[in-house]
Each structure stands twice: as C-alpha cells, then as structure tokens.
Chain A
Amino acid sequence: MPDSVDVSNAADSPAHGGSHAFRFHGTGREYFPIWIVNLLLTIVTLGIYSPWAKVRSQRYFHEATELAGARFGYHARPLSILIGRIIVLVLFVPYAILAKIQSPYALVYVPVLLVAGPWIIVKALRFRLRVTSYRGVRFSFSHEAGVMAGAYINFLGLPILGGITLGLLYPYVLHQQYRWMVDNSRYGATPLRMAPAVGRFYLLGLILAAALLAFAAAAFAMLYPLMDAVANHRPAPASAQMAPFLMLVLYAGLLLVTLLVALWLAKTVVQRLSLADVTLSAGWQLGPVLWLYVSNGLLLLFTLGFAYPWVRCRTARYVLEHLTVHAPTGLDSFVAGAQSDAGAFGDQAAAFFDIDVGIGF
C-alpha cells in the first residue's frame, strides 16, 4: 500500500511561528484574456455562461492569493449557481415589475422579503465559506441549531429596534451583525472569533453622523441666499456663481470622510479577529486607498471599462499585501471540521443562494 508510506517526518520548514503577509500573484496582463473570454462567452450564450465565468474568475483570484507558501482554493460548482440564479430570477422578476409600475401588489413581497432575508443570509454565508479552502481545509459557516435564530435576531429584530430608537442603536446593530457572522465562521473545525468593539463602532458612527450634518448645514447655508433671491425676484447674489464649485468641494469632503470611516471600520473588524492563536493586522492607509479609489475610477472611465482586469488586480494586491497574519505557533495544526463530508445536500441547496452578502455603512 503506497499510501501507508509515512512522509510526515519529512517535516516542512516553518512548523514554527511567525508573521506572514498575504501575497497576490495575479496581474491585469494575465487576467485580461481570462476576463475577455468570460465576457465573450457570457454574451454569446445570452448570460447562461455567467456562473461558469464567475467560478473561473473567483478561482483565478483565490489561486493567485498566497499565504505562507500555500494558495487559496475556490470549489463552487457552476451548475448549482446557474440553478440558483434561475430560481432567484423567477421569484423576483414579478416583484421588480410590480414595483416598477407602482402596483400595490408589490407590497405582498415586503413581508416575504423580511422573513426570507435572514434565512437567505445564512444560506449564502454557508455557501460562500464552504466553497473556499486553504491548505486543503475548507472554511464553513455554523450548522448549529441556534444559527437561524441568531440570524433573525441580528438581521430582523435588532434593525427594527434600531429604527425605533431613531438610529441611536444602529452602530450596536452593525457591531452585533459583524460579530455574529464572524463567530459562526470556521476554518476547518476551528471557530473564528471577534473581540467586541462597541465603543469603536459608536465613535465611527458619530464621525459619520457629524460629517453628514455638517454637509447638510453647509449646503443649506450656501443655497439659501440663491433660492431666496429667485423666489423674491431679486437678482442672484454674486456668490451664486461659486455655488456649483463649492458644492463639489463639499461633496468631495463628504466622500473623503465616508471612505475614512469605511476604512477604519474594516481595520477595526480585521484587527479583532482571531482563529485559535492566529491574529491579523491591517496596514491600510487613507492616502493610498484614496488614490486607488480615484485612479481606478479614472482608469475605468477613460478605457470605457476595459481596464477592469487591472483595476481588480491592483485593488486585490493592495488589500491583500497590507494584511498580515500572525501565527505564533504556525499554521500547521488546523484540522478539517466534522461536517466536511456530511451536509452535502445542504451545500447544494445553499448554492442556490450564491448572493454576495456584504454589510457596511
């Protein structure tokens, strides 16, 4: 039996601890033809190829991502995604049409969406994590009995409560949602954990609220003299000439604050994650992120979208290569979860809801 030969004592170099930055090996040059083929086949097949295109591009990005010498893997089956998309289409096209023509029957969907929402979130998270692997070990999202209840509390109950308290509870709600998602995620049999950060979430919420208020007040102060003059048949004040320019400056300022808050939020969450003794640190800075954001937009605009592969790759490179994993006892001691073989049917069903779940400000 060749399988019985023991090669385990051919010990790998660093079984010991250390810090590893992610590395991203993808390039726009390499991804461009892949993206074009995906695009062409999707157009030629009138969209039927799109799940295959999605899997191939996801595989490209996962397999180009290296951590401590090993690559990530993506294992979704395109056919399951296709069936899922067809189901979603059949369910929601009537709603889209009813909503567009402002038919009261569209309201029938509101309770359905409210009730189905948390359930879909759980299914989507299970699917998304289940098809991702690293070092031959799959990620997963909890199958425990309390998960569904948690989803309804965090994605239906708490948001309603947040609405009742006029948004005062909103940073807390967001915090609980993040924490719930992280705490139910696993790498193999090892659960991820997120240390609480309610105070930081409130601080960020406060900054954002202050920025929005300042923006509204400044915009009003600027536009009021003009509106007043027009309404009373007086000539527009000289300052009116400057209004469009000042509005642009204000808008850019608001955009900057929003970006800053989003960045801090991401850092806050990432730096509070832990997987056994493994932790993360992120070195993202506002300046480079802002430059990435603006230059990507300009690149896409001036190439009519053809720079998309480069935009995707340079974004992935910046995000990943400024993310460091600290593993004091190495990454060798994780084992696959007990559910890795069971629940295959559930995973197939989960593929029906291949929806990218993301929350944020």
Chain B
Amino acid sequence: MTADAPHATGTGRLYRAGLSRAETVTVRAGPQGLVLSGTDGDEARTVPRHTLTIVPPIGGDCWRFDFANGDTLEVIGGGPLAAALGHKPGLLSRLEGSWHLALASVPVLLGLGAATWYWGVPKAADLAAAHTPPWVERKLTDAGLALIFRDEKERTTVDPVRQQRLTSILADMVGAQDGEAYRLHFLNSPLIGPNAFALPGGDIIVTDQLLKILDDEEVAAVLAHEVGHVRHRHGLRLALRASGLSVLAAVAVGDASTAGHFLVGAPVLLLNLRFTREFEAEADADALAWLSRDPGSHGPPRSPCAFARALRKIVNSPEVKQAAAIAGHIPSWLATHPMTEERLRPFDAACPAKI
C-alpha cells in the first residue's frame, strides 16, 4: 500500500478540535489520505484526502494539516507527506524560497529607492507646492510673523524715511501685478545679526543690523535675492520636500524596535542642505538677472557689483565672524549658502569694473 511513497512518513502532533492536548502520532501517506497511528502503533485511522486542508509553511518546515472535523495536525518536515498527497508548491512559496530572486531584487530596489529619494520626492513636493493655494502659504507665514514680532525690544530703530524708500524700491522691483503680495518688515535683532530672509507668501524681513552696514543700492541687491526665493516658492517647497524625505526615511529604516528613528534625522538634514543650496543658487540667478537689467530713467541705480559688495560686508561683519568662530570651519557641502567667493564669481564677472 505504501509502495508508491515509501519515505512519506513522519511524526506529528495531533490536536483534537478545541483541545490543547497534544497527541504524538505517526503519520504516513496512504492511497486514500493520511494514515495516523498512535505511538503504540496497533490502531490506525485514515483521514481521507478530500477532508483535509494542507497548510504549507511560510519559510521553515512546519506543515499543518487541518481536518474537516476541526482536528489539527502539525508535522515538522511534512513536505514529502504533502507531496505524496498531491500538493504542489505554489508560485508564491517558490518565489519566497528563491535567494537568486531576492539578491537580484536588491539593486532594483536600491535604484528605485535612490530615484525616489533624489528625484521622486523633490518632484512630487514641487508639484504639490504648485497646486497649493496661496492662502495656505499666507497662513503659515502669519503664524511665523506673530512669533518673530512678539518681542517689544525688537522694534526697529530704522528711520521711517529710509523704511519708506526701501519699501518703494521693493514695490518697483516686483512690479504692479505682484506688488500686493510683497511686504517688507524691519526687525531689530542683535541675536540674528545682519541678515535678510523671505517667508513663504511674500513677507521679507531685513534686520536693523543689516541696514546699518549696507547702503540702499546694496539692500536692493539683497532684496532682489529674497524676491527670487518668494517667486520660486522656496519656503513651501523646502517644507514639503523635507517632510516627504522624512517619511521615506522612516519607511526604509524606522519600522522596527530600534534606535533607527533617532538616526534617520541626520541624512535627511544633509539632504535638506543640498536643497537649500540649490534654492540659494536659484535666487542668486534671479538677483543677477535683475541687477544686470537696465533700471530705466526713473529707477534706482543697480549693478551686480552691489550684491558682491553686500555679501562681502555681511560675511566680514563682527557678528557673522563670531558665529563662524563658534561653528568652526564649515565645509561647503555642509553650508547653507554656497561658500561666498564661489557664489560671487558670476557677480564679479558681471561687474563692469571697480567703481
């Protein structure tokens, strides 16, 4: 009777329906189905093939046979038994057992991941930014402004006449149709030092410390750079790109009880710096384009030289020098702004001559 499958035998543990008691049984594949016999071997019963379900293992070698009456049989190494009963391994379990497939998939998945990281997420974030209505940016900015101008001490000390002059320079720069969106703010902040920054939505903040060391022509050059940030919606795009990358990093590394989620922050931060440098370069290009254009008869004077002068003055200011001393030497790949001289090369090239 067992001639057709002589080695399809095994030892299994049988659990009667609803009972946790284990019975050790000897199992063999007969022509009608599984033949079970107790350890003493004198009594045997046959479980017909059509009344049992074969549950192949996922990995490992623990085969389960579920009987129609609710009994369950576990057989370690039950593969030959199942094969003798006519079970064929499915495509999925063959794939899951294949190391060739797994190893071949590694470069594919790596490539896919890298493409998502370097190209997919930034593109998707930019697309999302392009479809974000302007009032969202405005809301984000209003919250930020309220936080920045909370402190009475930070009221500006800049002469109102100069404030007016700079505001009109900005209005002239952005043109009539965009003029509504742009607002210039003045902030007295020894902590920040000489600096200017753009918030999403068109609010540009310049510090008193900056106005102290720059003349109006140089401030205009800095404003042209900040307007570039606003035009290309860098604030929103950076926020969206950063959150996209954090999610991706968390998916790849974070889903386990490990210190992983504490460590994923670092590479995301480095990549953010790459984005900011990309955005700075874009804003610089905008500034250079505006500074090189002819101001016309009524406009304020402008020249690429002014931007180079402004940047060198900022970098050489005592506050910035002190900050640099604390931080030590920062290599260019870690710097928010590309190293100054590298940045200024196109401006110097466009600067007609020393004035």
Interface residues of A (CB under 8 A from B): 2-3, 5-13, 15, 25-26, 30-34, 36-37, 39-40, 43, 56, 59-60, 63-64, 69-71, 73, 101-102, 134-137, 188, 230-231, 233, 235-236, 240-241, 255, 293-294, 296-301, 304-306, 308, 311-312, 315, 331-336, 340
A10-B256 in contact (CB<8A): no
Please, how many angstroms separate the alpha-carbon atoms of A257 and B161 in the complex? 58
Please, how many angstroms separate the alpha-carbon atoms of A63 and B57 in the complex? 8
Please, how many angstroms separate the alpha-carbon atoms of A38 and B110 in the complex? 16
B18-A3 in contact (CB<8A): no
Which one of A3, A60, A73, A135 lies within 8 Å of B69 (CB-CB)? A3
Please name all residues of chain B whose beta carbon is closer than 8 Å to the beta carbon of A334 when the two chains form the complex. 19-20
Please, how many angstroms separate the alpha-carbon atoms of A297 and B262 in the complex? 8
A70-B13 in contact (CB<8A): yes
Offer 22 A-B interface pairs, CB within 8 angstroms, sorted by A.
A2-B47, A5-B45, A7-B38, A10-B25, A34-B59, A36-B106, A37-B95, A37-B101, A60-B60, A63-B59, A70-B22, A70-B74, A135-B21, A137-B19, A293-B257, A296-B259, A297-B262, A300-B252, A301-B260, A305-B253, A308-B256, A312-B256
Is B15 among interface residues, defined by CB-CB distance under 8 A?
Answer: yes
Residues A304 and B21 in contact in the complex (CB < 8 Å), given A3-B69, A10-B40: no
How far apart are A156's CB and chain B's nearest CB, in angstroms?
Answer: 28
Residues A305 and B19 in contact in the complex (CB < 8 Å), given A2-B47, A73-B64: no
Please, how many angstroms separate the alpha-carbon atoms of A136 and B72 in the complex? 6
Please, how many angstroms separate the alpha-carbon atoms of A40 and B57 in the complex? 20
How far apart are B282's CB and chain A's nearest CB, in angstroms?
Answer: 26
Please, how many angstroms separate the alpha-carbon atoms of A332 and B4 in the complex? 36
Residues A5 and B60 in contact in the complex (CB < 8 Å), given A33-B98, A296-B259, A333-B20: no
Within B8-63, which residues are at the interface with A (CB < 8 Å)? 13-25, 36-40, 43-48, 57-60, 62
Is B109 among interface residues, defined by CB-CB distance under 8 A?
Answer: yes
B18-A188 in contact (CB<8A): yes
B18-A39 in contact (CB<8A): no
How far apart are A91's CB and chain B's nearest CB, in angstroms?
Answer: 20
Which one of B15, B45, B74, B252 lies within 8 Å of A305 (CB-CB)? B252
Query: In the complex, which of the residues A2, A8, A255, A340 has the most CB atoms of chain B within 10 Å of its own CB atom?
Result: A2
Please name all residues of chain A whose beta carbon is closer than 8 Å to the beta carbon of B21 when the two chains form the complex. 8, 12, 15, 135, 332-333
Please name all residues of chain A whose beta carbon is closer than 8 Å to the beta carbon of B40 when the two chains form the complex. 10
A36-B101 in contact (CB<8A): yes
Please name all residues of chain A whose beta carbon is closer than 8 Å to the beta carbon of B62 when the two chains form the complex. 63, 71
Please name all residues of chain B whose beta carbon is closer than 8 Å to the beta carbon of A11 when the two chains form the complex. 23
How far apart are A130's CB and chain B's nearest CB, in angstroms?
Answer: 15
Please, how many angstroms separate the alpha-carbon atoms of A312 and B59 in the complex? 15
Please, how many angstroms separate the alpha-carbon atoms of A311 and B101 in the complex? 21
Residue of A nearest to B255 (CB): A308
Please name all residues of chain B whose beta carbon is closer than 8 Å to the beta carbon of A70 when the two chains form the complex. 13, 15, 22, 74
Which one of B48, B190, B260 lies within 8 Å of A300 (CB-CB)? B260
* 19 more A-B residue pairs beyond the given contacts A301-B264, A334-B19, with a C-beta to C-beta distance below 8 A: A3-B69, A9-B38, A10-B24, A12-B13, A26-B60, A31-B59, A33-B98, A34-B59, A34-B96, A56-B96, A70-B13, A70-B22, A101-B139, A136-B17, A304-B113, A312-B256, A331-B20, A335-B20, A340-B18
Please, how many angstroms separate the alpha-carbon atoms of A335 and B263 in the complex? 47
Is B97 among interface residues, defined by CB-CB distance under 8 A?
Answer: yes
B256-A335 in contact (CB<8A): no
Please name all residues of chain A whose beta carbon is closer than 8 Å to the beta carbon of B24 when the two chains form the complex. 10, 12-13
B59-A7 in contact (CB<8A): no
Residues A304 and B110 in contact in the complex (CB < 8 Å), given A34-B59, A63-B62, A135-B15: yes
Residues A33 and B101 in contact in the complex (CB < 8 Å), given A63-B58, A101-B136: yes
Please name all residues of chain B whose beta carbon is closer than 8 Å to the beta carbon of A296 when the two chains form the complex. 256-260
Within B71-113, which residues are at the interface with A (CB < 8 Å)? 71-72, 74, 92, 95-99, 101-102, 105-106, 109-110, 112-113
Is B191 among interface residues, defined by CB-CB distance under 8 A?
Answer: yes
Query: In the complex, which of the residues A7, A25, A236 has the most CB atoms of chain B within 10 Å of its own CB atom?
Result: A7
Within B259-290, which residues are at the interface with A (CB < 8 Å)? 259-260, 262-264
Residue of A nearest to B132 (CB): A101
Nearest 6 A/B pairs, CB to CB: A10-B38, A297-B259, A136-B15, A336-B18, A296-B258, A334-B20
Is B322 among interface residues, defined by CB-CB distance under 8 A?
Answer: yes
How far apart are B206's CB and chain A's nearest CB, in angstroms?
Answer: 20
Please name all residues of chain B whose beta carbon is closer than 8 Å to the beta carbon of A37 when the two chains form the complex. 92, 95-96, 101-102
Residue of A nearest to B133 (CB): A101
